[in-house]
Every structure is written in C-alpha cells, then in structure tokens.
Structure 1
C-alpha cells in the first residue's frame, strides 16, 4: 500500500507540474497566434508561423529521442522547459522596450518548437518509469485530463490577458509556468533506467533501433502509418482555427477562445472517462476509431454555413473533435508505454513527434495557398474527407492481416 501511494503521489506532482506549464504555454500560444491573425489576416502568414514552429521538430526529433534514451530524462525535461521560459522572458523584455516587427514572433515560435521537441519524448518516457504497466491507460487519461484543463483555461486566460495587457505581459505567464513545472519535476525521484547496451552507439544505429520498434510490431506500424497519412491533412487545421472564427464567422477574439474551450471540454470529457470507468483492451483498434472520429468532425466543420448560429454548431463539433483526439492518443500512448523496451522508448516517442513535425509544415505548404484562395472552411472539409478515407483503408488492411479478433 505504501509503495502504491508513493508512485501515485510522485505521478500527481509530475502531472500537475506539466499541466501548469501547459497552462502558461496554451495562453501564450493563443495570444501569439491571435496577435498574428489580427495583424495580418492571412492564412499564408499563419501557415508560415506553423512551419517555423514545427520545422525544428522535424530536424531535431531523432536527436531528441536518442537524448531521452541515452541521458537523464529528468534533466532534459527541466532544461527544455526552462529554456522555453527564458526565451519567453527575453522576448517579453524586448517587446516592452522596442516596437518589434511581426516577423519576430517566428523566432519565438522556433525556439518553443526546439524546446518542445526535446521535452516531449523525455516526459513521455518518464511516466512508465513511475507508473505500473496496468495503470498506464488510467494515468495517461489523468495526464490528458490535466492537460485538457490547461488547454481549456489557457486560451481563456490568454484572451483575457491579451485584451487587458500588452504581449510583453502576456508572455510572463509562460515564464511562471516553466518555473513551477521544473520545480515540481525536480523534487520527484525518477527510478534509474537500467542500461543494457553501450551508450556510445553510432547516431544512425540508434535511429534504426528506434524505427525497428515499429517494424517489429505490425499493429503499431499500421496505426502509425494511418496517423502519418492523416496528419498531413489534419495538422494544418490548428493554424487555421483563429481564421475560422475571425474571418469565416467574422467574430472577435473571445469567440476564438470559446472555440478552444469547446475543444478542451471534449478532451476533458474523454480523458475523464479513460481515467475512471473505461477499460481498454484493444488499444490499437480504439486508436483507429479516434482517428476516424477526428476526420468525421473535421468534415462537419467544413460544411457549417458562415452564419452567427453556425458558429455555435462549429463550437459543438469542436467538442467532438477534442474528444476524438484523446480517443486516438490515450490508447496509443499506453500501448507504446506497455510494449516498448524502456531503453528504446524515447526514440519511439520521438517518431511520433517527427510525424507531427514533418506533416505540419508539408501540410501547411500545400494547404495554405488553397485556404488563401477558397477559404479555411474548405480545408476543414477536404482534410476530414481524406482522413475518413485513409483511416478506413488502413483499418481494413489491418483487419485483413490480423483478423477480426486481432
């Protein structure tokens, strides 16, 4: 009982710290993107912002995965969080004293992208070091619940601060979040990771070992392929959300924050169910269902008319979109944490980061000119349709290979 209480208390400290950090990050991210949307009113500029934010992930993800497996994951997570906080502090000071051009926000987004690239696989690999395997679905549910709460409150706080204070003040919430998250992780004792191999393998060899995880596990391989194909269409939508509210529905920033809030409510509902009553056995199949739901919700968003009442339907569908995202992510994360060897986990999770980081800029390069010409709602429609087709095709192939009970 004492051992059980110990891992629970340590997990809660880590999860709360990460949630606080994300609270600041979501608030700042919303304010920065809305600031850019108001000043430019251009899907192309928002597309460039997304590319700048995600391109570092494409470059550094393999290195981040190797670092998470080779070095101290706790140190990497703390250092990355604090680096993003320091970057926010420097940018806040510069904005306070100087009238910086809009393009400088791209530098800030780039630094945040690098920090997030190293932080994500490290913290995802720390969780199974703290938590028993049979509790991973529940604990990932709780992680997503806390993160969803941060995602819910972050844009509201960001919008409120943005309406009252200059960007230099808004950025300070990111600094406070980074400090608190780092302090929380610092007081937790992370069990030592047993080293089974020489730590000085060649860089390319270690990358191959990380990819081998997916080659050996065909179930995992199919869902990752489906995710990679779908993210090409889905990833750009996060950059277009502000324009759906500001340009398509012609509504102000508080409506934009309400859409983010709706998305977060969906995430919280699904995360709460996973962390409490849902017992998932066929995790890969459930993950496929979530991916299909994301496509269906995106498709519906694209057909909603640009009337004021249409915005309420859009917000309601965003609840479903947020819920579907967790239905895809939580079982997949738990499956990976249960089945992948601890010494390879950092590299395996860096592959997921690499997928999102590659598909985001490539997808934006393709989708931004289309959205600029025909409207962002059309891309929601196109992305949803393509995700439904791709997910269905890969899932049918998965069933043919593994059977109905596979």
Structure 2
C-alpha cells in the first residue's frame, strides 16, 4: 500500500520536479559544506578555524531565518527558489577561485548561507502548494529521506572529488548541480496566493509582534519548551560532529581529506538506518522509548570516542597520517561509531519532532517552528565555537567526555522529564 502511494505521488510531475530540485540542491549544499570544512582545516590545521567557519554558516541562518520565512509569504516562492539557486550557484563558482584565503572563505560562506536560507524556507513551504493534503505526510517523509541520502552522497563525493580530481572540484560540481536544479523549478506551477500590497503593509507593521508569538508559545507551554530543548540538543550535537570531524580524524592518524569517507558518510548511513528503524518499529513503541535510547546511544558513542585516543596501542598506530584504507584497523571502528551516532541522532530527533508538531497549536505552528530553528542555530554556533577552542587547547577528551555525560544523563532522565512536562502520556 505504501509503495503504491509513493508511486502515485512520484507520478506527479510537479512533485517529482520539486523533489529532484531538493536532491540536486541538498547534494550541492553538503558538497560545499564539507568541502569548505576540509579546506579550512587543511589551510589552518586548526579546529578553532573550522568553528569560525561554522559560525559563518549558523549566524546568517539565525539572523535571516525569520526574514526568509516572511519573504516566502510575501513573494512568490517559485521566484525565490530560482533566484536563490542562481545566486547560490554563482557565489560557489566564484569561491572556487578564492579558496586560499581563510577570511575570504568565511565571507563567501556567509553569503552562501543567506541565499540558502531563502531557498530552504521557500522550497519547504511550497510542498503544500503542489501536493494534496492527504499526501502531505508522505511527501514530507520523502523530502526528509532525500536530506539524509543527499548527506551521504555529498560526503562521499567530497572526499572522492577532492582526493582524485582537485580540492575545488566539489565546488564546481555543486555550482552546476544548483544551476541545473533551477531548471526543474522553472517547470513547476506553484499555486500560491501572495498577499496584496495593503495586506503586506499591515503584516510588516506588526512584524515584531508576530515573531514574538513563537517565543511566547515556547516559554508558556512546558510541553513545547521541553521538546524544544531535546530538539535543540540533538541538532546541535549533529552540528558538532561536522565541526570536529577533520581534527578528530587527524588525532587518529588518518588524513583529514578522508573525513567524509570515515566519519560523515557513516554518520549519514546511520541516519538512514535510524529512519528505517523508526518506520519499522515506530508504531510498536512510544516515542519516549526512542528518544531515551537515542540519547543513550549518542552518549555511549561520545564516551568511547573520548577514551579511544588514550589507548597506548592506538598511539603507536597514529604516529604517521595516512589514507583511511591503509589504517582500516582504526578507520573501520571509527566509521562504525559514527554510524551509531547517526542512528542515535535520528532516534532522538524524529520522535521529538513529531511530538513537537503534535503539540503545537495550529495558529502559531510556523512561527514556533522558526523559533525552534533559531534556537538550534544559536546553540550550534555556541557549541561549535567553544568546541573548536577547547579542542585546540586541551584536545578532544574533555569536550567529548562532558558531552557524553550530559547525553547519557539526559537519556537516563528523559522519561521522567518528558512525562513530568506532559509529553507523550498516551
């Protein structure tokens, strides 16, 4: 039955083109993201510099997430998607010639992320405009699946292109993918009612009041507040994995160029596996079961990662940096650990997201979700900044140890916390 519904949905040319646009641009986004992380680490050999780069991604998102949301309500989303795609593609292509200067990379990262924020909000908001209401859940599931799959594809291609063609090859490829994605959108008819000029003026006059409604909902509703906390934590830990990946790999004596092969690719595969676990067992167990197990898995993985570099046997193996295939005794266990990190992240994130959506009042859903996203960006920014500083000064052990203890404690106490907050009582 599910396959039949999926096949019917994919027969819709409108949805298929939008999905292809999503796939192309998400692969491109991860290509650029991972490529710049790798470039900055190899340029500076500093985890703190990688953290600064991630700040350049997160801060624009935090600033523009609400503006992008309002823009997608005031301007036709098809125009926003095409324009942001073309701007994004041009910026990435230009950056491919300017990757030798750290601050130049940071500047372009800011501009690229601003363009992406407008694109992301417009495309996700367009799904209900082209998909019937009874197929909306399936459409969103397919979009989420393409996100994880694109992460896997992007991480694999970054290391492949960087290692065997050129360090800037991922940027060329990403630029082309995004430009081609704009072609798909040009073929889509998005039915959207754009507010008239007088109505837009009234909405803009009350913009601050409208934005604060999301904050008020989270602050006043203990259920939403608790779920927001779990979502922010799980998303921020995923961002941390990006931040520390190249430096962590170097600690284990593996060339940082292979960080996508060894760490990010398994992380994405783990996320897909977690998604499959939820699809099989989601109706059998309560959401609280998965959230609890997910946090414990994350904590256990971080704890193991914290103590592995302390091994004397490992220290004897990491004296010289090599490609991952020459150190399978280290790279394979690391890949396995990161795949479990991906599973734990999804087991925490998706049930918490579902509960979050179920408990949100319809009239403030969009604004509250934007606020949750904003809090995630802020937390990720702070975590990335301090993780880079701590890693350079003290190594990864104290950072991973503290995070593992927090995650394990949260997992063990999650059932009590969630039930007390009125979450998942049925």
How does 1:1-400 map onto structure 2 within 5 Å?
A: 5=8, 9=12, 10-92=14-96, 94-95=97-98, 100-131=100-131, 138-192=138-192, 199-215=203-219, 218-229=222-233, 235-254=239-258, 256-274=260-278, 278-279=282-283, 286-287=290-291, 289-305=293-309, 307=314, 308=327, 309-334=329-354, 344-390=364-410, 392-393=412-413, 395-400=415-420
> How far apart, in 1, do the equivalents of 2:412 and 2:112 lie?
35
**Offset at residue 87 of structure 1 (A):** 0.7
**Structure 1 residues 32, 234: closer, same or farther in 2, change over 3 A?**
closer
> How far apart, in 2, do the equivalents of 1:255 and 1:403 lie?
38
> How far apart, in 2, do the equivalents of 1:358 and 1:281 lie?
32
> How far apart, in 2, do the equivalents of 1:36 and 1:321 lie?
24
> How far apart, in 1, do the equivalents of 2:133 and 2:118 lie?
24
- Contact 1:66/1:207, CA 8 A, preserved across alignment: no
- The farther-off stretch of 270-279 and 242-251 is 270-279
**Structure 1 residues 58, 156: closer, same or farther in 2, change over 3 A?**
same
Query: Structure 2-normalised TM-score?
Result: 0.80
> How far apart, in 1, do the equivalents of 2:20 and 2:353 lie?
19
Corresponding residue SS for 1:189: coil
Segments ≥4 residues shifted beyond 6 Å? 1-4, 194-197
- Contact 1:136/1:337, CA 8 A, preserved across alignment: no
> How far apart, in 2, do the equivalents of 1:342 and 1:74 lie?
25
- Contact 2:231/2:349, CA 8 A, preserved across alignment: no
**Offset at residue 46 of structure 1 (A):** 1.1
**Offset at residue 375 of structure 1 (A):** 1.6
**Offset at residue 193 of structure 1 (A):** 5.6
**Offset at residue 35 of structure 1 (A):** 1.9
- The farther-off stretch of 19-28 and 348-357 is 348-357
Q: Larger relative CO (CA 8 A, sep 6+): 1 or 2?
A: 1
Query: Structure 1-normalised TM-score?
Result: 0.83
Q: Larger Rg: 1 or 2? A: 2
> How far apart, in 1, do the equivalents of 2:423 and 2:377 lie?
33
> How far apart, in 1, do the equivalents of 2:193 and 2:31 lie?
34
- Contact 2:74/2:194, CA 8 A, preserved across alignment: no
**Offset at residue 204 of structure 1 (A):** 0.8
The root-mean-square deviation of aligned C-alpha atoms, in Å, is: 3.5
> How far apart, in 2, do the equivalents of 1:80 and 1:299 lie?
41
- Contact 1:25/1:177, CA 8 A, preserved across alignment: no
**Offset at residue 54 of structure 1 (A):** 1.2
> How far apart, in 1, do the equivalents of 2:296 and 2:125 lie?
27
> How far apart, in 1, do the equivalents of 2:76 and 2:56 lie?
28
> How far apart, in 1, do the equivalents of 2:136 and 2:23 lie?
18
- Contact 2:73/2:194, CA 8 A, preserved across alignment: no
> How far apart, in 2, do the equivalents of 1:286 and 1:386 lie?
17
> How far apart, in 2, do the equivalents of 1:396 and 1:245 lie?
37
- Contact 2:28/2:175, CA 8 A, preserved across alignment: yes
- The farther-off stretch of 228-237 and 361-370 is 228-237
> How far apart, in 1, do the equivalents of 2:237 and 2:264 lie?
19
- Contact 1:233/1:386, CA 8 A, preserved across alignment: no
- Contact 1:68/1:121, CA 8 A, preserved across alignment: yes
- The farther-off stretch of 224-233 and 194-203 is 194-203
> How far apart, in 1, do the equivalents of 2:282 and 2:237 lie?
29
The number of equivalent residue pairs is 402
Q: Which runs of 5+ in 2 are unaligned?
A: 315-326
Q: Which runs of 5+ in 1 are unaligned?
A: none
